[in-house]
């Protein structure tokens, strides 16, 4: 049956073959037939795209935020933006086999890229707290880029190999359409998505724990109480922010793996909803960071002072010269 999104907006006809496979039975069928889940994904994904663009522009405009930490975060936001965009394109199913497979490959690569950049960010946070030399040099960013943009290519190659072994015909999209062209089968999902995401998030948590331990030790060495408390609050806010992003990405990935393996309609609905809103959640967590708000406050505070100084200097030019006596 043609859904609201696939027929009116997406432009692809919805075949009846997908209604007998995967999640299209039971609860998933009612969602897809009425177009409710597709509409949720489109609306939530659109909000996420707008929020991600706003967060990216924020870190691009202010020079105070364009450090190595800010640059790695911008890469994560860019990768997450592409994930959200492609997920909206694939919602409801794409009937063209080549387009569907290309969409699935791109989503697999970009999803792993997001987690790789998250692990790189946590490593840099630990390097900053531990005061590791040359942590902000350009070669460090180059290493992060090679890891975050290059490692997912290797993962993608392994995923394609496992999928070809599991399914003789990789171009058969009958089983892929109900899953928004997520091309991987059970083995590929476990070994090239679930396991790598778990290991990367585990490494991110490891560096966060190490950063917390080092930060506690470093703050205790500060003699001034005011400076010590300020440093504690700053490090705590940074770690809470990174922990939030890790939890959001991990929750969405966990729901995706569970729904793809067990084909439970409710889990798939939860995954689609959470996936469409994860960009919004990450962007709000980043944009509402205390450091970003302070930058906004500082810029807005400087502007009136500059205007007052400009107006006062103009009045001084109009006023007569003061008496030298």
Q: What is the pLDDT of residue 250?
A: 96
Angle at 78 between CA 77 and CA 80, to 5 degrees: 65
The domain locations on the chain are 54-130+139-299
Would you say residue 134 has pLDDT above 80?
no
Which one of 3-17, 57-71, 172-186, 187-201 scores highest in mean pLDDT?
187-201
What does the mean pLDDT of the chain come to?
79
Identify the CA nearest to 153 among candidates 91, 122, 145. Answer: 145
11: DSSP letter: -
CATH number of the structural domain 54-130+139-299: 1.20.1070.10
Residue 228 token pair? 């010590």
pTM for the full predicted model = 0.81
Q: What is the mean pLDDT of residues 256-284?
A: 91
Would you say residue 272 has pLDDT above 60?
yes
Of 67 and 154, more confident: 154
121 and 207 in contact (C-beta within 8 Å)?
A: no
- How far is it, in rounded angstroms, from Cα 104 to Cα 111? 11
Which residue is it, tokens 């072994």? 165
Of 163 and 243, more confident: 243
- How far is it, in rounded angstroms, from Cα 118 to Cα 198? 12
Residue 318 token pair? 């109009």
Size of the chain in residues: 325
pLDDT digits (tens, 9 = 90+) for 140-197: 999 999 999 999 999 999 998 988 887 767 767 776 777 777 767 788 889 999 999 9
């Amino acid at each position: 049956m043609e859904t609201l999104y696939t027929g009116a907006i997406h432009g692809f006809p919805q075949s009846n073959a997908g209604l007998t496979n995967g999640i299209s039975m039971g609860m998933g069928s009612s969602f897809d037939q009425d177009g409710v889940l597709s509409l949720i994904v489109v609306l939530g994904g659109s909000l996420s795209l707008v929020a991600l663009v706003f967060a990216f522009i924020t870190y691009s405009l202010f020079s105070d935020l364009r450090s190595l930490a800010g640059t790695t975060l911008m890469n994560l936001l860019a990768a997450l933006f592409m994930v959200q965009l492609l997920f909206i394109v694939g919602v409801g199913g794409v009937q063209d086999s080549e387009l569907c497979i290309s969409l699935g490959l791109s989503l697999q690569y970009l999803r792993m890229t997001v987690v790789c950049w998250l692990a790189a960010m946590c490593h840099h946070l630990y390097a900053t707290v531990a005061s590791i030399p040359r942590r902000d040099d350009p070669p460090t960013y180059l290493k992060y880029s090679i890891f975050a943009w290059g490692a997912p290519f290797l993962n993608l190659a392994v995923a394609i190999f496992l999928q070809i072994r599991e399914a003789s015909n990789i171009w058969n999209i009958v089983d892929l359409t109900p899953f928004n062209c997520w091309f991987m089968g059970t083995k590929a999902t476990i070994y090239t998505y679930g396991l790598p995401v778990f290991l990367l998030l585990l490494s991110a948590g490891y560096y966060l724990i190490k950063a917390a331990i080092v930060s506690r030790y470093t703050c205790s060495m500060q003699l001034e109480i005011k400076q010590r408390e300020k440093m504690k609050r700053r490090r705590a806010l940074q770690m809470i922010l990174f922990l939030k992003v890790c939890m959001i990405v991990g929750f969405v990935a966990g729901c995706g793996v569970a729904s793809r393996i067990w084909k439970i309609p409710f889990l798939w609905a939860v995954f689609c909803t959470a996936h469409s809103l994860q960009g919004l959640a990450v962007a709000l967590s980043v944009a509402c960071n205390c450091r970003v708000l302070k930058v906004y406050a500082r810029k807005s505070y400087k502007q009136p002072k500059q205007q007052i100084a400009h107006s006062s200097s103009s009045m001084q030019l109009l006023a007569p010269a003061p008496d030298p006596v």
